[in-house]
């Protein structure tokens, strides 16, 4: 909003709230970016990416969901499940060798970790194609610690339609409903971020437990297919679920999204051209990504942090204060709102909300209290 003061640093009151609250981030793609590197040290502070243990601690983040994301190009049977498991195992390895962070699979385990001074790590799977149309493979992911699954990524799968691809089924198939029911039975959160509107409504009709939208925003403020309409926000609140607000500027501001997507198309064409020129897809991807990041920085005006706060307040206005949380999408997005560099800066968002008149109890619900309630209801 025009009247908001500039955010430079979080004040002591904001940082104290982060020390007092259970702060939970529902979505970070750090495993895909870094955890497969054999010598990656999560306990060290890095100059790349958004998350490592020192920056989680500086940001006062108590619990982080790490995501095993299966991209569309690895959606084939015989490939998708193995990729998901590869990333789940990488999460186990990295967390297991890093003092100060603990893998947990329940709400009680999360609280124990925080009580004992450790950051809690939880596992989510992104892209329902990871289970390769098999309830047994869903159960195997659960057995290795996965506690939520995003039913689709941008691509539809054989049993659920996605928000960013043409519809194939008109929502959930009969097997898709079985997947939701199996997740309810296991005690695994159903995540409706990325799904189509028809799939969203089919999920709410099917589920017997609260659901999450782990990293989604308000469509009334930014008309992007990844965002939720007001009627969806109200329905999710009635279900008892929670929306984790995404920090990606493309989902916060329609003008930024249009410019970003133009540059992204140019980068795709450049990558294809360089691949033909070099015969080396890895080198082409790296060069195209550097070009893309430079062009975004040069050509697009950063989205202010106030836009993120606007989405949070809209969701509160529509769904209620009990149904909003944090779903940063750290390490899965290339840009952040102005004023946020990485996980260490999350208290700046809290500072802005305090300046807008939020009470401490309301802030604590946003930071993690609401997610904790849903985790307790579903995971135990």
Burial class of residue 71 in the structure, from the number of CB atoms within 10 Å of its CB (0-12 exposed, 13-18 middle, 19+ buried): middle
Report the first-to-last Cα separation within the chain, whole angstroms.
39
Domain ranges, ordered by start, for the chain: 12-251+304-378, 254-302
The H or E element that residue 137 is part of is helix 135-143
pLDDT of residue 2: 40
pLDDT of residue 75: 86
Closest of 246, 179, 173 to residue 215, by C-alpha: 246
Which CATH architecture fits 12-251+304-378? Alpha-Beta Barrel (3.20)
d(CA 179, CA 131): 10
pLDDT of residue 5: 47
pLDDT of residue 73: 84
Rg, the chain, Cα only: 20
| Sign of the C-alpha dihedral computed for residues 224, 229, 232 and 234 taken in this order | positive
pLDDT of residue 3: 45
**Which residues, given as ranges, of the chain have pLDDT below 50?**
1-5
pLDDT of residue 74: 86
pLDDT of residue 171: 98
pLDDT of residue 285: 86
d(CA 162, CA 140): 24
């Amino acid at each position: 909003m025009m009247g908001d003061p500039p955010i430079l640093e979080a004040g002591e009151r904001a940082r104290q709230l982060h020390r007092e609250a259970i702060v939970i981030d529902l979505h970070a793609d750090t495993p895909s970016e870094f955890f497969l590197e054999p010598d990656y040290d999560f306990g060290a502070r890095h100059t790349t990416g958004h998350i490592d243990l020192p920056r989680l601690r500086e940001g006062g983040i108590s619990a982080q969901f790490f995501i095993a994301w299966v991209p569309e190009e690895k959606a084939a049977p015989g490939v998708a499940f193995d990729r998901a498991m590869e990333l789940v195992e990488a999460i186990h390895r990295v967390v297991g060798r890093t003092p100060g962070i603990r893998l947990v699979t329940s709400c009680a385990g999360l609280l124990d970790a925080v009580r004992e001074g450790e950051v809690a790590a939880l596992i989510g799977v992104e892209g329902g194609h990871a289970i390769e149309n098999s309830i047994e493979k869903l159960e195997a992911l659960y057995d290795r610690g996965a506690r939520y699954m995003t039913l689709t990524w941008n691509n539809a799968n054989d049993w659920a339609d996605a928000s960013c691809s043409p519809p194939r089924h008109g929502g959930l198939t009969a097997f898709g409903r079985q997947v939701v029911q199996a997740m309810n039975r296991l005690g695994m959160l159903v995540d409706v971020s990325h799904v189509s509107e028809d799939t969203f409504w089919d999920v709410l009709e099917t589920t017997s437990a609260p659901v999450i939208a782990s990293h989604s925003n308000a469509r009334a403020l930014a008309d992007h297919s990844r965002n939720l309409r007001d009627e969806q926000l109200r329905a999710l609140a009635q279900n008892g679920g929670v929306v984790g607000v995404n920090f990606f500027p493309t989902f916060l501001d329609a003008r930024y999204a249009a410019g970003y997507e133009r540059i992204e198309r140019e980068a795709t064409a450049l990558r294809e051209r360089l691949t033909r020129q070099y015969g080396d897809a890895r080198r082409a991807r790296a060069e195209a990504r550097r070009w893309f990041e430079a062009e975004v920085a040069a050509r697009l005006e950063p989205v202010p942090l106030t836009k993120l706060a606007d989405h949070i307040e809209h969701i509160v206005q529509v769904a209620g204060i009990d149904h909003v949380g944090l779903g940063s999408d750290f390490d899965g997005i290339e840009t952040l709102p102005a004023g946020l560099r990485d996980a260490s800066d999350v208290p700046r968002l809290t500072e802005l909300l305090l300046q807008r008149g939020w009470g401490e109890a309301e802030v604590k619900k946003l930071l993690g209290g609401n997610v904790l309630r849903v985790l307790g209801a579903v995971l135990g």
